[in-house]
Structure 1
Amino acid sequence: MGTTDTPAAGEFVRLEVSDGVGTIRLDRPKMNALSEQVQEEIRAAATEAAARADVKAVVVYGGERVFAAGADVKEMADMSYTEMVDRSAGLQSAFTAVAKIPKPVVAAVTGYALGGGCELAMCADIRIAADNATLGQPEILLGIIPGAGGTQRLTRLVGPSKAKDIIFSGRFVKADEALAIGLVDRVVPADEVYAEAVKWASQFVGAASYAVRAAKESIDRGLEVDLETGLEIERVQFAALFATEDRSIGMKSFVENGPGKAEFRGA
């Protein structure tokens, strides 16, 4: 393994880079409560991960015991309507910065991923969860609704009926159910979560980076539009890749050596 670099470090969130994989690490004891400061540090780490050419994929991780147990309720309890109007856009966009990282992103979910923690996990492309993980959107029990993407991303992942059941009730979802309904993509023993996430992310270190980026953008943008528009998004992205060096490398390697042997340069 190579050395670990920590290029972007806030008080509670840091970006660690090792062997082409960046880890956005939340570390606010005891439960990684997502205060405004933590949210902005997540935005900064995501922006750094997106910009760095040596980061090929990203893991979002809260540590061995907890992913993130939700927003900092004490911070929000006395906020007025106008104060939340001013803050709510920043809350959403801080998490959306993770969703918009133009590289593969995996959430390594341990312990609780509740409220904002679940919303943050859903910003990743896939979720690998511990067998004892608990997810959910319990905001309704506070007299509010999810405000950082929960009503939208959960619905897109599990469908409207299951999303309504989870959000209306505020109930907790255990790992086995989360896997069955598509809220998480893989369940592994708790002590293997981070290693499995890094393993998944590492497969993209030698990939054709711009092709992966184009695939992610085509899928994500396509979900927002009708099929005809989505097909046009795909067509434009597909054609654009013929301007990349990796496309030439990949096709030449395929013709000469067969599939899966290309050594891409990320250009």
Structure 2
Amino acid sequence: MASKMLLRPINIAFNAYRSHCGTNNLVHVAINEKTGIATVTMQRQPVNSLNYELLTELKSAFEELGSKKIKGAILTSSLKTIFSGGLDIMEMYQAKEDRAKAFWTALQDAWITLFSTPYPTVAAINGHSPAGGCLLSLSCEYRVMVNNYTIGLNETKLGIVAPFWFMSSMKNTISSRESELALTSGRLYSTEEAFKVGLIDEIAENKEDCLAKAEKFFLRFKGINSIARAFTKDRLRGKI
């Protein structure tokens, strides 16, 4: 059963979302009422592998934030060295047909929801981010990554063909030529390499610095009409 996210206040400055359908709070959402910035934190041990439940909670969280008057959302991880290890391989290994269909639908729904949010988004990448973790990062408008980690769509090294919308997300971020070279070879970029090709936008020293730089991204929209910004984003991304 899909997780259902409900809003629960926890103190005067923050709100949090939690699941009521048997999962273990795989996603935590906090809204800073002073800044209007939401922080969405993945917290599925041990590597934030993307299973049906985590993907469903992510989709629900970003959808719910769309109904709030926020200035933007930051996607990050509670884990020390991992942003997301990518798709949960157990969702694909000898999976029953109904579960497999539900999983791939949840994956695409989570991508569409994050990719098309009307509010600005930043990935604060505080650890390794291969495959599906990279996809989540590419779905955001801006990426800040802590130094000394890796990121990329490395599906070919696993004998998997990345869905076309994985590929389109990368081609929307870096050049088509660089995307071809990276996707066919399953390349994982270091933080510095990712910055050089434009896969990420800034490098951070640690998670605290990563979150601080992510928050600064939203300042560029001060004085920008939010509706005009949202429609412009939709026009730019709607063709992908």
TM-score using structure 1 length: 0.75
Q: Distance in 2 between matches of 1:9 and 1:201?
A: 26
1:219 paired to 2:225: no
1:132 paired to 2:148: yes
Q: Give the number of aligned pairs.
A: 220
1:116 CA displacement? 0.6
Largest Rg, 1 or 2: 1
Give the gaps of 5 or more residues in structure 2.
1-11, 20-24
Task: Flag the 1:61–1:86 CA change in 2: closer, same or farther, 3 A.
Answer: closer
Q: Distance in 2 between matches of 1:156 and 1:134?
A: 19
1:13 CA displacement? 0.7
The residue that corresponds to 2:217 in the other structure is 200
1:58 paired to 2:67: no
The residue that corresponds to 1:231 in the other structure is none
Question: Which secondary structure does the structure 2 equivalent of 1:48 belong to?
Answer: helix
Counterpart AA for 1:117 = G
Q: 2:15 aligns with which of 5, 30, 42?
A: 5
1:17 paired to 2:28: no
1:127 CA displacement? 0.6
8 Å CA contact 1:135, 1:178 repeated in 2:
yes
Query: Over residues 214-255 of structure 1, what are the superposed CA-to-partner deviations in whole Å (9 max), with x where a residue is unaligned?
Result: 33223223x55xxxxxxxxxxxxxxxxxxxxxxxxxxxxxxx
1:123 CA displacement? 0.5
TM-score using structure 2 length: 0.83
1:157 CA displacement? 1.5
Task: Flag the 1:204–1:44 CA change in 2: closer, same or farther, 3 A.
Answer: same
Question: Which secondary structure does the structure 2 equivalent of 1:194 belong to?
Answer: helix
Task: Flag the 1:148–1:5 CA change in 2: closer, same or farther, 3 A.
Answer: farther
8 Å CA contact 1:92, 1:147 repeated in 2:
no
1:26 CA displacement? 0.4
Give the gaps of 5 or more residues in structure 1.
225-267
Q: Distance in 1 between matches of 2:47 and 2:139?
A: 19
1:47 paired to 2:63: yes
The residue that corresponds to 2:93 in the other structure is 77
Q: CA RMSD in A?
A: 2.2
Q: Distance in 1 between matches of 2:60 and 2:210?
A: 24
8 Å CA contact 2:116, 2:237 repeated in 1:
no
Task: Flag the 1:83–1:12 CA change in 2: closer, same or farther, 3 A.
Answer: closer
- Larger % of helix: which? 1
Task: Flag the 1:25–1:195 CA change in 2: closer, same or farther, 3 A.
Answer: same
Map 1:45-194; keep pairs closer than 5 Å: 45-53=61-69, 55-63=70-78, 64-79=80-95, 84-85=100-101, 87-147=103-163, 149-191=165-207, 192-194=209-211
Q: Between 198-207 and 24-33, report the one with greater CA deviation.
A: 198-207
1:210 paired to 2:227: yes
Task: Flag the 1:82–1:165 CA change in 2: closer, same or farther, 3 A.
Answer: farther
1:160 CA displacement? 2.4
Q: Distance in 1 between matches of 2:218 and 2:41?
A: 15
